[in-house]
Structure 1
């Protein structure tokens, strides 16, 4: 059992009454949804909700919430990196730098408005994405307490916390390729290569970015994790020991909210009708997330690997999924070869797809939302990580939870076909499916009354309500 200094026993859950909670998500798909799901959980407990958001990549408005755009007119061309080799760490630093001044004005106005409307009351707190350290500094200046939401897994944050020590040992950045497969004794089962979050971002930029993420946790009044104890107990404990503030593992958020989410892409829901016609656990769902991309050759090899497997598949190909191309061109003959057993869409309602009885496997980039949703729906994975925390997540899928395996090396149709057959027809794939179903059962229990995540939600609510002016 994870020991949390926040409390040994959850008190009776409080109600938010008329208190207002402010939230500020990072303006990317995989970060918007968990924050809005958290907003839904807080709103259901009686809190009023204000969502600050970057003017670019604005979320869909939610009825009953106040939405406040930040930084209208701020140049955003280099704030939305594209492709798997984009400078995401640099973009995060630029977002903080460019939005900080505008946010200070918006937050000051919100605090004054709240005091006027509620006769001297101030917002209970600001919950911000842990990548927004600059906004946390602004909140501190204005006396608004902060909680941070980590939209990645506990293992990821534990690895970020260990990053400086690896640099001090001279392991990062690696001096040559021969080091990459080196196991990290303090971070099992990770290897050095799993800590190379980007091959294009300068080491100094990455170091600064990760330092600020860890700072945001340590300088907060509490860290909220979108995970659950039975999945990541060891790494949750590392975080508790390292950050010195209360830690609340309340996930999976998508299971405890009413489904509130914001899609920057329009999902094609006709794929659900198609899935209704397929046999149970027969379909491979292929989706590499909202940011990752592939080359044209990789697209062709993937197409023929899927076709040659002779198994049903649902393949998500975003319009911008192919590097350096304005459009996606599937190879000649592919449509004819797969007609009736394959469907290609621009975007899919992922949670509905993974929860569908027809889906028996997920080929994923291993972003945390995708990884967690696959685990919670009992769907084993073929892993193809690209950047950021995806390598860490994929490693845990294969080595810790043993509910999938990484498709390594160059994407080649024969290797893809063998991987698909292994997952769906092999004995090893069957064992992965059984373990995935065990984790699904644990995820279901943790959000029920008395479960670890439900208990942590109650603790979080009481933390927010612990003082009339601050947490």
Structure 2
């Protein structure tokens, strides 16, 4: 029994209830299972329903059914988030978040308690850093507490040091300082405009999201380990400074490298995916891909200006427009006759498998909200950015893309509403000419870094193996195996 605990560690995984978090969690589950872990993956009933509704090919209730045929030991179950299935979580955002803050942990406690009771070999909890309860659950059931951070280390360390931001008046002040933040360990001076949106605000710092952030980043400091979907070489100073506080492992990029059809496919999309393959038979690098991700909302005014900018640019484009991209109760947000005016040159779809699109040779640029998954995928596919951050970490991610790595352009530099003229100008710069050539040259260098880090001797592969060894050591200590091994022999 004791050797089995170490030979095949058993972990329960809880992703946050957003697609941008579910995706890297699924790929981490596959990575760990390939390294000998037995994984039980837990989605909320709502997320599971959206995935199965959008993926008609799913057989039964296990999204890992196909993946399990590869011989990897992955189990799957669901949990209530405390709300009925018909509840509109997007339209009633704050109410839903209050539920996650106050109610969800009771459902987790019940599920983990039942699982551990029926299978005492469960030794590890891997939960999203944005949850507020992992340390409590891990302590109660004697589990190794692993926090999985799905965004860059820069964002993690800024949240981690909220106390310093408050102490120095850059956050939680009625008149936040506007000079650069130059006192966060491992972070070079950063402008307030490049902080996450929840830190930039001066109006209400007691919203439900702020309260979740306060609790979550207090709780993460109690984790045994933090694993991070980033690359050591891209954020070395920040990661090194964090490692002085807690064990943290940069194991990214966490996605199916190569994006080939031969990879283990696990459905993660919350919407039905349009197939754009036939439409993309266009000249190399001539198509702009436009997507604002799975969660963020865009104002109707900005949407209209972007639409006219795309129309006037003359560039071919694919525009992913979720039905709720403005709000779920605002159905008509495009200019009149817009879809007729772009026929043949533009394609508007509600959702797609992004990896298939940006890996296509016809794609030459990505007008993006700067979600972290999109950034890693786009670097892998050598596609430069036009950055239009909307919420939370996206402003900080933009700083990395534009200022630090120089693989993209700002769509606009002001806080004011964008103009169609500005959209036209920036589209042309990112798609062709000397600026575009330089962006593509640099992004190819970053792609090589990502490739190297995933090699057998690459930093991410080494960090992942070290993490697994450290987890096993922690399991030994928690279960008293070290002392017994020393007494009885291995």
Q: TM-score range by the shorter chain?
A: 0.7 to 0.9
- Superposed counterparts of 1:402-413, under 5 Å: 402-408=406-412, 409=414, 410-413=417-420
The Cα RMSD (Å) is 2.7
**Residue equivalent to 1:249:** 250
Is the contact between residue 109 and residue 137 of structure 2 (CA under 8 Å) also seen in structure 1? Answer: yes
Which residue, 227, 232, 239 being the options, matches 1:236? Answer: 239
When residues 72 and 194 of structure 1 are mapped into structure 2, their CA distance, relative to the original with a 3 A threshold, is closer
For the pair 1:464 / 2:471, whether they are aligned, the reply is yes
TM-score between both structures, scaled by the size of structure 2? 0.83
Deviation at 1:73, TM superposition (A): 5.0
Pairing 1:260–2:263 present: no
Name structure 2 gaps, 5 residues minimum: 53-62, 69-73, 258-262, 480-490
Q: Equivalent residue for 2:450?
A: 443
By how many angstroms is 1:332 displaced?
A: 3.1
Cα distance, 1:29 vs structure 2: 0.5
Match of 2:428 in 1: 421
Alignment check: 8 A CA contact 1:70 1:99 kept: no
Residue of structure 1 aligned with 2:218, choices 207, 215, 219: 215
Residues 1:217 and 1:358: Cα distance change in structure 2 (over 3 Å): same
* 1:30 lines up with 2:26 in the alignment: no
Q: CA deviation at 1:156?
A: 0.5
For 1:40 and 1:16, locate their aligned partners in 2 and report how far apart those are by CA, in whole Å: 18
Structure 1 Cα separation of the partners of residues 296 and 210 of structure 2: 22
How far is the alpha carbon of 1:79 from its aligned partner?
8.8
Q: What does the per-residue CA deviation read over 1:138-171, in whole Å, with 9 as the maximum and x for residues that have no partner?
A: 2211211210100111110011122221111222
The equivalent residue for 2:165 is 166
Deviation per CA, 1:164-188: give whole Å up to 9, x if none. 21111222235458x54x3222343
Match of 2:44 in 1: 54
How has the CA–CA distance of structure 1 residues 44 and 216 changed in structure 2, closer, same or farther, with 3 Å as cutoff?
A: same
Which of 103, 111, 116 is the matching residue for 1:111?
116
Q: For 1:442-465, what per-residue CA distance to the aligned partner results, in whole angstroms no more than 9, with x for missing partners?
A: 101110110111111211222233
Report the CA distance between 1:366 and its aligned residue. 0.9
**What is the CA-CA distance between 1:381 and the residue it aligns to?**
0.6
Distance 1:453 1:419, change over 3 A: same
Quote the residue 2:57 is aligned against: none
Q: After superposition, where does 1:388-399 map in structure 2 within 5 Å?
A: 388-399=392-403
SS of residue matched to 1:347: coil
Q: Following the alignment from structure 1 to structure 2, what is the Cα–Cα distance between the partners of residues 218 and 138?
A: 15
Conserved 8 A contact 2:227-2:251: yes
Give secondary structure in 1 for the equivalent of 2:108: helix
Matches of 2:211 and 2:225, distance apart in 1? 22
CA contact (8 A) 1:123 1:469 kept: no
- Structure 2 residue aligned with 1:6: none
Whether 1:67 and 2:64 are equivalent positions in the alignment is no
In the alignment, what sits opposite 1:353? Answer: 357
| Offset at residue 81 of structure 1 (A) | 4.1
Residue in 1 aligned with 2:344?
Answer: 340
Aligned residues: 442
CA displacement at 1:69 relative to structure 2: 2.2
CA distance in 2, matches of 1:36, 1:369: 13
Q: Secondary structure at the match of 1:264?
A: coil
Partner of 2:135: 136
1:398 is paired with a residue whose SS is helix
The TM-score normalised by the length of structure 1 is 0.86
Q: Does 1:184 align with 2:181?
A: yes
Query: 2: distance between equivalents of 1:133 and 1:318?
Result: 29
Secondary structure at 1:449 match in 2: coil
**Quick one: higher RCO (CA 8 Å, sep 6+), 1 or 2?**
1
CA distance in 2, matches of 1:435, 1:52: 39
User: CA separation of 1:75/1:333 partners in 2, compared to 1, >3 Å: closer, same or farther?
Assistant: closer
For residues 18-68 of structure 1, give each alpha carbon's deviation from its aligned partner in whole angstroms, at most 9, with x where no partner exists.
432110111110111111111111111222211223232225521243323
Mapped partners of 2:134, 2:462: distance in 1: 29
* Aligned-pair CA distance for 1:71: 2.8
8 Å CA contact 1:268–1:349 kept in 2: the answer is: yes
Evaluate the alpha carbon distance shift between residue 82 and residue 419 of structure 1 in structure 2; reply closer, same or farther with a 3 A threshold.
farther
Say whether the 8 Å CA contact 1:189–1:396 is kept in structure 2. no
**In 1, Cα distance between equivalents of 2:266 and 2:358:** 17
CA distance in 2, matches of 1:201, 1:74: 29
Cα distance in structure 2, aligned partners of 1:77 and 1:172? 37
Deviation larger for 371-380 or 309-318:
371-380
Q: Which runs of 5 or more structure 1 residues have no equivalent in the other structure?
A: 1-13, 116-121
Secondary structure of 2:77's counterpart equals: strand
Deviates more, 1:231-240 or 1:382-391: 231-240
1:334-365 CA-to-partner distances (Å, cap 9, x unmatched) read: 33432222111100111221222111111111
SS in 2 for 1:416: helix
Indicate the SS of the match to 1:50. Answer: strand
